[in-house]
Amino acid sequence: MSNLKNVEKYLKKIRKNEEFISSDVLEPIEYKGEKGVEIEIVNPEFTSLCPMTGLPDFGTITIKYIPDKYIIELKSLKYYFLQFRNAGIFYENLTPLILNHLKEKLKPKEITVIAEFTPRGGISTKVKASYKSK
């Protein structure tokens, strides 16, 4: 078997789809700080897989939110992001997925997730998803 076929076989074995991503690892922590504070978290080393080619996509995920009763424990967020490394998922799907998982766990007053990916084929992509409680 050629090396290329071995690589393709390996990638198929480890590659997951977006249903693989679970919010169970996210750990909310009680927030006792001032009201109206905006928190910004930046992950400049985010990686997922292109569902078409299986090649890695590299980007920066920025999360901005105004907490109500909970904030996110950062180590749990890092482990959450690690799940995407073997997941074939489009940028346009992963951004609202992250937003919905964080919204579900934190119940913030407002939250925005911005995903900015490095250029592929000369095209860069930026996807933004937002939520504001009523």
Give me the active site residues, please: 50, 57
Q: Is 2 exposed, middle or buried (0-12, 13-18, 19+ CB in 10 A)?
A: exposed
Spatial contact of 110 and 65, defined as CB atoms under 8 Å apart: yes
65 forms beta bridges with 39, 111
Q: How far apart are CA 86 and CA 73, in angstroms?
A: 23
Q: What is the DSSP string of 59-101?
A: EEEEEEEE-SSEEE-HHHHHHHHHGGGGBB--HHHHHHHHHHH
